[in-house]
Amino acid sequence: MAQLHVLMGADTIRARPTVRRIGLADLRDALARGFADFSAIPTHAVFLCLIYPIVGLVLARAMMGYALLPLLFPLAAGFALVGPFAAIGFYELSRRREQGLDISWEDAFDVLHSPSRDAIAALGFLLLVIFAIWIGVAQAIYVANFGYEPAASMPDFVRQVFTTPAGWTLIIVGNFVGFLFAVTVLIISVVAFPLLVDREVGAVEAVLTSVRAVAANPVMMAVWGLIVAALLVIGSLPFFFGLAVVVPVLGHSTWHLYRKLVEPDPTPRQDHPRPPQQRRYAAQFPAALFAGEDKQPPGQS
């Protein structure tokens, strides 16, 4: 029964979300609103994105072991496959800002208390499986063209890839297969994760809604996919540092794209403002660390 709840949601007879058609103006507006969200809460967004440049640098260092060098590009490109799940906190921040609520970095983790958190985890696991399959396929394509012998050095690897027939076969086939993986993830997730953040639905309904949204707007979704790919490439240069801006902007923009693609829920989630946190003063440190409850400074009531 628990698995059925994750897949189908709490109420299987609830009306299906209504999908709308959109145009280029909607894509531009979604990006503009996403950038506005990032500008309004840049500290929180950058904080959440610190992992991206860190992972990028660690990944680049790890790839200096030449046996793993052929997987450098597949791993970097494959981050886009798990991006919709990694951006889940940005959807929540945009949702709360949309409602006019006060926002702090802690709000990005409110999805952990979402009624659809199990469905979010299940769909996130699916993207991780797709990512793992992509890495295995990319490795198989490399082996089919160059065998199991690792490159002798970075210059040797670059020379093999760009100056030999096998290298160009690797580039063409690898990019084509990677494109198919990226399109698959776009179709099943572009609306699914924001929908799960917004409503209590099952993973199956979220994926089906995403598929219907893409089917109703094939050209616009193709343009959106190209925009995402282009911005991720730009953000990856140099050394992935640009992702600290690109990823949150795309995350916030995806939330606003979802708002344009899917009719609002007639019974939306109700959030209540967090109780105001008591301000701490320097004079209270370090005693405040051990106090059973906060003390008001003199003159405060």
100 φ/ψ sector (left φ>0, alpha ψ -120 to 50, else beta) = left
pLDDT tens-digit readout, 163-204: 999 999 999 999 999 999 999 999 999 999 999 999 888 999
Model confidence band, residue 47 (pLDDT cutoffs 50, 70, 90): low
pLDDT greater than 80 at residue 274:
no
Residue 12's pLDDT is 47
Polymer length of the chain: 301
CB atoms within 10 A of CB 61: 9
The span from the CA of 17 to the CA of 66, in Å, is: 49
For tokens 């440049």, the residue is: 53
Residue 101's pLDDT is 78
The span from the CA of 245 to the CA of 39, in Å, is: 10
Selection from 5-14, 210-219, 287-296 with the highest mean pLDDT: 210-219
Q: For residue 158, what are its two tokens?
A: 């670059």
Q: Are 71 and 139 spatial neighbours (Cβ–Cβ below 8 Å)?
A: yes
The span from the CA of 190 to the CA of 167, in Å, is: 33
Of the listed ranges 59-68, 95-104, 231-240, the one predicted with least confidence: 59-68
pTM to 2 decimals? 0.79
- The type of residue at 148 is Y
CB atoms within 10 A of CB 141: 19
Residue 19's pLDDT is 95
Selection from 76-90, 125-139, 268-282 with the highest mean pLDDT: 125-139
Domain ranges of the chain: 17-265
- Give the burial class of 105: count Cβ atoms within 10 A of its Cβ; 0-12 exposed, 13-18 middle, 19 or more buried: middle
Give the CA distances from residue 253 to residues 7, 26, 117, in Å, rounded to whole numbers and listed in that order: 26, 11, 21
pLDDT tens-digit readout, 112-163: 777 788 999 999 999 999 999 999 999 999 999 988 877 767 788 888 889 9
Q: For residue 139, what are its two tokens?
A: 């490795």
Residue 269's pLDDT is 61
Residue 59's pLDDT is 57
What's the rounded mean pLDDT across residues 101-120? 76
Model confidence band, residue 296 (pLDDT cutoffs 50, 70, 90): very low
pLDDT greater than 50 at residue 283:
no
pLDDT tens-digit readout, 8-34: 555 544 678 999 999 999 999 999 999
The span from the CA of 268 to the CA of 79, in Å, is: 32
Residue 63's pLDDT is 52
- The type of residue at 26 is D
Q: For residue 221, what are its two tokens?
A: 């979704």
